[in-house]
Amino acid sequence: MSNSSEWIARGDQHIAKTYGRYPLVPVRGAGCRLWDADGREYLDFLAGVAVNNLGHCHPKVVAALQDQAARLLHCSNYYHIPQQIELAEILCAHSFGDRVFFCNSGAEANEAAMKLVRKYSREKYGENRFEVITALASFHGRTIGTISATGQEKVKTGFAPMVPGFKYVPFGDAQALKSAISPNTCAVMLEPVQGEGGVNVPPAGYLQAVRQICDEHGLILVFDEVQVGCGRTGKLFAYEHDGVEPDVMTLAKALAGGPPIGAMVAREPFVSTLGPGTHGSTFGGNPLMAAAGIATLKVLLEDGVLENCVAMGDYLRIRLEELQLRYPFVTAIRGRGLILGMELSIDGGEIVTKALQRGLLINCTVGCVLRFVPPLIVSRAEIDEMIAILDGIFAEQR
């Protein structure tokens, strides 16, 4: 087994250079901790970017994977897959959804949603009804379709031409959304809380207003809950905070507690527009990932994880606000549950690098917003430890 610097040198030779990686080689994890190839310990407040919601290697998820791995790893979606059926039952029982399409990632879930809204609307209203309105500062994935949907130029550079049929409006402005509607508009796609765009929580009443506008104009409402679903905000799904339901919701990241999975949850009559042969995925909803998904949702719903997320979200926010009072370069704290952003008037990237050197994993979005998305099982003691590290770094900034 190589040490960290040997692994980094080997990776430099043969791994595609698509990520600006930090010099960290994690090899083991448990709860909110990671250990690197040199045996060094880290406190993880990034959680694989909101994936490890139950912490690393949650014993019930690991047991479900081990058990399923020994029975059946994969079979085709030409056949019926019990684990996939059970996972769909749980998702529909706890949401607005009637049916679920399974895939392997957030981008794929959004691709399924975009195919659904186009096909349904064209069949119902005519050939030209294919435009989707999304938000500025949104993030929907890295495929050609989902970078076209994303309201940020930086993900599109070099990849033109984009898929036609997207319009972007400021997030949180219902009037702007209304003005962007044309006879060709078929759907609106939004993150209920924007993650990559800087942890942006919409103003109260915004999502209700969007729902109403969609109803008035016959538009399908899609919520991308890839980052903020699965308990991250303190409710199972982020839309529950706003008293509105979408017609389609996409999930991925935390749905199986670590292993790759994606899902599009949707209601009738929309979802049945995707009939046999219209969409598919070789691996989507395979027995192994679906078994991990069932175990993950059961822990989320039955083991007090959502309650802990609410309590620890409140506590983390209070502790971050204390730092805001003491350090003038902290300009805002925002978020919901355990997705919290701290906006800085200084470079956030440098803070992330210093945190890593001190054994703390956090990240920075849009250059100046520190993002805290720890496992939802995080404790007060771990939050205190994180705050102490951050305080030490901030004290050096003066």
Ligand X SMILES: *Cc1c(COP(=O)(O)O)cnc(C)c1O
Q: Catalog residues that contact ligand X under the rule CB under 6 A.
A: 105-107, 110, 139-141, 191, 195-196, 224, 226-227, 252-253
Residue 102 annotated to the active site: no
Q: Collect all residues with Cβ–Cβ distance below 8 Å to 192 and sequence separation of at least 6.
A: 202, 207, 223, 225, 228, 233, 238, 239, 241, 242
- Is 247 labelled a binding residue? no
Tokens of 255: 């749905």
- Closest to ligand X by CB, 263 or 390: 263
Distance, CA of 384 to CA of 333 (rounded, Å)? 17
Give the nearest distance from C-beta 110 to ligand X in angstroms.
6
Residue 224 annotated to the active site: yes
Give the nearest distance from C-beta 234 to ligand X in angstroms.
17
- Closest to ligand X by CB, 96 or 139: 139
Q: In what order do the strands lie in the sheet with 26-30?
A: 26-30, 33-36, 41-44, 360-361
- Closest to ligand X by CB, 21 or 124: 21
- Is 233 labelled a binding residue? no
Tokens of 346: 């200084």
Structure-token match 């599109």, residue found:
156
Run of H or E including 364: strand 363-365
- Closest to ligand X by CB, 138 or 382: 138
Give the nearest distance from C-beta 227 to ligand X in angstroms.
3
Q: Which of 309, 312, 112 is nearest to 228 (CA)?
A: 309
SS (H, E, C) 161-175: CCCCCEEEECCCCHH
Q: In what order do the strands lie in the sheet with 248-251?
A: 99-103, 262-266, 248-251, 220-224, 185-190, 131-135, 166-169
- Is 84 labelled a binding residue? no
The CA-based angle 259-264-265, given to 5 degrees, is 115
DSSP string, 249-289: EEE-GGGGSSS--EEEEE-TTTGGGS-TTS---SSTT-HHH
What is the per-residue burial (b if ≥16 Cβ within 10 Å, else e) of 120-145?
bbeeeeeeebbbbbbbbbbbbbebeb
Give the SS3 label for residue 32: coil
- Closest to ligand X by CB, 110 or 363: 110
- Closest to ligand X by CB, 139 or 327: 139
- Closest to ligand X by CB, 68 or 110: 110
The CA-based angle 30-362-297, given to 5 degrees, is 50
Residue 98 annotated to the active site: no
Give the nearest distance from C-beta 282 to ligand X in angstroms.
16
Query: Which candidate in 242, 253, 270, 372 is catalytic?
Result: 253
Give the nearest distance from C-beta 14 to ligand X in angstroms.
22
- Is 257 labelled a binding residue? no
Tokens of 354: 């210093």
Query: Which candidate in 45, 96, 139, 171 is catalytic?
Result: 139
- Is 282 labelled a binding residue? yes
Q: Which of 20, 42, 19, 17 is nearest to 31 (CA)?
A: 42
Residue nearest ligand X by beta-carbon distance? 106
Query: Which candidate in 36, 44, 224, 247 is catalytic?
Result: 224
Task: Give bridge partners of residue 343 from the DSSP assignment.
Answer: 332, 369
Give the nearest distance from C-beta 232 to ligand X in angstroms.
10
- Is 225 labelled a binding residue? yes
Amino acid present at 90: I
Q: Collect all residues with Cβ–Cβ distance below 8 Å to 158 and sequence separation of at least 6.
A: none
Give the nearest distance from C-beta 298 to ligand X in angstroms.
22
The annotation places the binding site for N(2)-acetyl-L-ornithine at 142, 281
Catalytic residue IDs: 139, 224, 253
